[in-house]
Structure 1
Amino acid sequence: MAFEALSENLNNTGEKTQEYVETTAEYYKLRLFKSSMKFATSLISMLVLGSVALLLLSFMSFGVALYLSRIIGYPSSGFFVIGGFFLVVFLFTYFFGRKMIVKTILEKFSELIVEEDDTSPSDIANERAKSKKTKGTP
């Protein structure tokens, strides 16, 4: 009788272990899908907004360059002034802003991947075990 009970407990343990592994695998698949979708939508959103901002900046720069050319009196002088301005902005960004840009991007995307409200597989397994005990399932 004790051997049968031990055998049954071992079978139940094997089944529970297999169920836990399958549940954990499903959890990580869903979490990977969620993270990749958040990353993809965020990336697409940034690309669209960046494209619109680039178009806006291009047209504004072109207009200011034409206006400066008219004020200075030489046809290409406004374009050189605007080009020089963007060169200075680029150099400042390259030498002083790279670390800040990398830090901001890493923080943004790590927030998308790691969330505080995510439950771990062990929490899910514990909740399932509690719910089965309350239902009377051995």
Structure 2
Amino acid sequence: MAFEEFKESILKADVNFHGYIESSEEYIKLKSFKALMIGVLFITKTIIIGALIGITLLIFSFAFAFKLAQVLDNTFYGFLIVGAFYTIVVVITYLLRSRLNGPLLRKFSNYYFSKDDTKKL
């Protein structure tokens, strides 16, 4: 009799263990999907907003370069000044690129490891 009860307990434990493994696997899939979608949505938003900002910046740059060309009476110098300004911005951004790693890692780790599913980027 004790052997039958022990056998039933082992069978129940085996069923419970398999259920736990299956639910853990589903949780890992769901957590991975959540992290992947946060990344995809962030990249998509960044690309769309970046493209719009880029177009706007391009139009304003042309306007400013043509205005400088009128003031200086030389189109070349107007565009050269605007190009030099953007070159300086790129060099400064390149030199400070390592300072972006920490804040970006903190922001994404908060979203990945958070328990609250209502957070949005």
TM-score w.r.t. length of structure 2: 0.89
Q: Percent sequence identity over matched residues?
A: 29
SS of 2:24's equivalent?
helix
The 2-side partners of 1:104 and 1:29 are apart by 27
Structure 2 unpaired stretches of 5+? none
Residue 10 of structure 1 deviates from its aligned partner by 0.5
Q: Which residue of 1 aligns with 2:38?
A: 38
> How well do the aligned residues superpose, as a CA RMSD in angstroms?
1.4
Structure 1 unpaired stretches of 5+? 119-138
Aligned 1:59-70 pairs, distance under 5 A: 59-70=59-70
Aligned 1:95-110 pairs, distance under 5 A: 95=95, 97-110=96-109
Which has the larger Rg? Answer: 1
Q: Which residue of 2 aligns with 1:15?
A: 15
Higher RCO, Cα 8 Å, sep 6+: 1
The 1-side partners of 2:15 and 2:58 are apart by 64
Can you list the C-alpha shifts for 1:83-104, whole angstroms capped at 9, x where unaligned? Answer: 1111111111111x20122233
Give the counterpart letter for 1:15 in structure 2: V
Q: Which residue of 2 aligns with 1:131?
A: none
Q: Flag as ranges the 4+ runs of structure 1 deviating above 4 A.
A: none
The 2-side partners of 1:2 and 1:73 are apart by 103
TM-score w.r.t. length of structure 1: 0.79
Aligned 1:120-131 pairs, distance under 5 A: none
Q: Is the 8 A contact 1:61 1:82 kept in 2?
A: yes
Give the counterpart letter for 1:117 in structure 2: D
Aligned residues: 117
Aligned 1:18-29 pairs, distance under 5 A: 18-29=18-29
